[in-house]
């Protein structure tokens, strides 16, 4: 039984991760921001514990992570930095506030969570960190420069921390989804989704479970010689 903390667990990929760990009997705390009803339903369904926290607020995140450790009854074994927001806009039209909001949610929050949670992992001399990046962090997306930059930052964070934390038997990896059917892509019309599907060598869009399985595997004890990697789970979209 592992103690698992997942950010952005109320919907989409994060919710699939909550289900995957919970079905193995792991003790799971997940953070949500606005989707209280969905979070409560998921908590009832899985037995996972939901905590409200806007991860873009570093102080709130620090306090919530300390509370989460108390709720879990000890140091976190698995941290999944999943919470994220996208921004589809020309860089020329993007305001400073919009940039900061994306960087705070998608990059700063993961960095803060790694710092806070890794202290307990170092004391325990074990642990797993998985950052949820994006194929756009690898190849860049037009009209998503800020999002792509934030996700590329997660690659660097992953590699550096893998070196820093490796001697403490902590693995740090990044999972980079391709196009996954979640609310994040709800604004895309059918034609765009078809085009994205056509560009995917495996000829389908991803499902949340595709990502949750890889996150789970990386932290299952069966992948303990993998660290510092950014693993595309994208049906070949990023090739």
Q: How far apart are CA 154 and CA 157, in angstroms?
A: 5
- Residue 152 structure tokens: 């590329």
Q: Are 158 and 213 in contact (CB under 8 A)?
A: no
Of 8 and 153, nearer to ligand NDP (C-beta) is: 8
200 binds ligand NDP (CB under 6 A): no
Report the relative pairing of strands 27-32 and 49-52 from DSSP bridges.
Answer: parallel
111 binds ligand NDP (CB under 6 A): no
Of 134 and 230, nearer to ligand NDP (C-beta) is: 134
8 binds ligand NDP (CB under 6 A): yes
Q: Which of residues 115-154 bind ligand NDP (CB under 6 A)?
A: 132, 134
What is the C-alpha end-to-end distance of the chain, expressed in Å? 37
Beta-sheet strand order (sheet of 127-132): 49-52, 27-32, 3-7, 78-81, 127-132, 170-177, 230-233
Of 52 and 168, nearer to ligand NDP (C-beta) is: 52
- Stretch near ligand NDP under the rule CB under 6 A, chosen from 53-61, 63-71, 92-100, 157-165: 53-61
Catalytic residue numbers read: 147
User: Where do contacts with ligand NDP occur on this chain (CB under 6 A)?
Assistant: 8-14, 31-35, 53-56, 82-86, 105, 132, 134, 177, 179-180, 182-185
């Amino acid at each position: 039984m592992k103690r698992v903390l997942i950010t952005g667990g109320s919907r989409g990929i994060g919710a699939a991760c909550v289900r995957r760990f919970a079905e193995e009997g792991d003790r799971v705390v997940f953070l949500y921001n606005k989707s209280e009803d969905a979070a409560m339903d998921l908590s009832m369904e899985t037995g996972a514990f939901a905590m409200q926290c806007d991860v873009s607020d570093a102080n709130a995140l620090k306090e919530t992570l300390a509370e989460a450790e108390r709720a879990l009854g000890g140091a976190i074994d698995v941290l999944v930095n999943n919470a994220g927001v996208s921004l589809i806009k020309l860089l020329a039209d993007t305001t400073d506030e919009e940039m900061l909001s994306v960087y705070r949610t998608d990059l700063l929050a993961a960095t803060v969570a790694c710092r806070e949670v890794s202290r307990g992992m170092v004391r325990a001399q074990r642990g797993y960190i998985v950052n949820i990046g994006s194929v756009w962090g690898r190849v860049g997306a037009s009209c998503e420069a800020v999002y792509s930059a934030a996700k590329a930052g997660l690659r660097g964070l992953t590699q550096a921390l893998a070196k820093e934390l490796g001697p403490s038997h902590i693995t740090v990896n990044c999972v980079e989804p391709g196009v996954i059917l979640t609310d994040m892509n709800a604004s895309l019309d059918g034609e765009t989704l078809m085009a994205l599907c056509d560009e995917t060598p495996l000829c389908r869009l991803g499902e949340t479970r595709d990502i949750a399985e890889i996150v789970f595997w990386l932290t299952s004890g069966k992948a303990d010689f993998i660290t510092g990697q950014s693993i595309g789970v994208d049906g070949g979209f990023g090739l």
